[in-house]
Structures are given as structure tokens and as C-alpha cells.
Amino acid sequence: MFRIVISTGNENKVREISDVLKEFDVDVVSKDSLGLNHINIEEDGHTLEENAIKKARELWKNTGGIVIADDTGLFVNYLKGDPGVHSSRYAGDQANDIDNNNLLLKNMKNVEGKERKAFFKTVIVIIDRNEKIHLSEGICCGQIGLEPKGDYGFGYDSLFVVDGIGRTFAQMSNEEKNKYSHRGKALRKLGKIFSEILYETH
């Protein structure tokens, strides 16, 4: 079994990625579980790609093994793409999910129809043991709900109503969310590359 280190301390994200990669014989762990929680990268890139590569490279330097880093943004039509690359700290550097959601709803007050359209984008970077970079992305379209709905998920999941489904990510099980989500799509695109990485490092 190969160990894959995720550049996150968010166990929800680790669980989500583990579910998607369950077909592979891998052990997915967070950097924090390995005592690498001192690695804190300033996500100052102008794009999701820049941030994900920066995080992955720093983690690779500290492990030398296979690592995964991702960056995700919520892009809202009415807000001209905001919160975008600043999604995790939309309401400030010390903000939590509730703070970010409250600010988003405040900024979307009285906004209706197509102006509430939005999309999630995830960029995932894998760096293998030879320091080769593999990149994929996934996009999920939807709209911002008028109020939070659902008890699952994290981040903006309770506000994001998935197109064609009519429910938020927070109203879905992990399995269903992975079927539609931006992160799930990005990981599935990496399936073939991931198999090759595991074979080459055997």
C-alpha cells in the first residue's frame, strides 16, 4: 500500500479524497497527521493553479513521496468572480465557514435569477517521487441559495445548489457529492495518471 500525503489539515477533505481514491491501494493521510502542521503556505497566487503547485512543492520537499495539493474557489457571477482564489478567507484571514457564508449571503442580498449563478473549480496537483507534476481540474456549476440547507459538507456546501440536482452539496452523502463535485471530477480525470504513478513507484 502506498501512502499519499495531502497538503491539508482538513480531515473532511482527506475523507472526501479517500472516498474517490478507494479503488486504489493507497493510504491517504493529512500532513497534520504526520506532524507536518508547521508547513503553512501563504496562498498568494493569482490563480488556483499557482496556489496548488506552491503547496504541493513545499510538501514534497518535506516528504519526498507522493503528495497531493489542491486549491478550490467559488466564482459567483454577480460578484464578478469573487470570492474566487480568496474563497477560504473571504471574510478575513481568521474567518471560518460560518463567517464566509454570512458575508456571501450579505453580498448577495436581493440578488435574483441568473445573477446568483456560480461555479466551483478545483485544481489538483500530484507530485510523484520523481518530482514530476501532474495537474487536473474539475468544475461544477450551480447557484447560490437564499439560505443554508443541509447538515453535511464544509465550506460553502450548504449554499451551493448544484445545477440539475436542486440540492446543495450539504444535502448529499459523501458518495453522491463525489459524483457531482468539482473535486471528484478533478480526481477522476487523474485516474489514469494515478495508476501510472503507482506502477512506476512500485
Nearest-Å Rg of the Cα atoms of the chain is 17
Residue 153: in which H helix or E strand, if any?
A: none
Closest by alpha carbon to 132, among 43, 196, 81?
A: 196
Alpha-carbon distance of 30 to 10, in angstroms, equals 8
71 has catalytic annotation: yes
Task: Indicate which residue of 70, 71, 128, 157 is catalytic.
Answer: 71
- DSSP designation for 9: -
Residues sharing a CB contact under 8 Å with residue 167, sequence separation 6 or more, in sequence order? 149, 150, 161
Catalogue the active-site residues: 71
